[in-house]
Amino acid sequence: MDVNGVGWIAAIVIGGVAGWLAEMVMKSNMGIFMNIILGIIGAVVLNFILQALNLGTFGAGWIAYLVTGFVGACLLIFIARVVKR
């Protein structure tokens, strides 16, 4: 089974990188486990939002998954900060 054109193991690795990049850009302080979770869930959430708005996706493959995971993770960090206040 694959996720957005990448396998499960690749999704975990790429999700971790996407979460780490989002952590650096958003100046957040989280651990590696949370980076992986944010990257993977961020990609899933952003894909859902894009499909709901009928905008399509960024494509398939690991680069598209990295971009989707990064943007989605940044979105999740932003939402968490807004809710926290």
What is the chain's pLDDT, residue by residue, as a tens digit (85 residues)? Answer: 445 566 778 778 888 888 889 888 988 887 778 877 888 888 788 878 877 887 766 666 778 778 888 888 888 888 888 888 7
C-beta of residue 4 within 8 angstroms of C-beta of residue 60? yes
**Domain range annotation of the chain:** 2-84
Cα torsion angle, 76, 77, 80, 85, sign: negative
Which residues have C-beta within 8 Å of that of residue 23, sequence separation ≥ 6?
A: 29, 30, 35, 38, 73, 77
Which of 52, 14, 20, 45 has the alpha carbon at shortest distance from 34? 20
Which of 36, 33, 48 has the alpha carbon at shortest distance from 73? 36
pTM above the 0.95 mark?
A: no
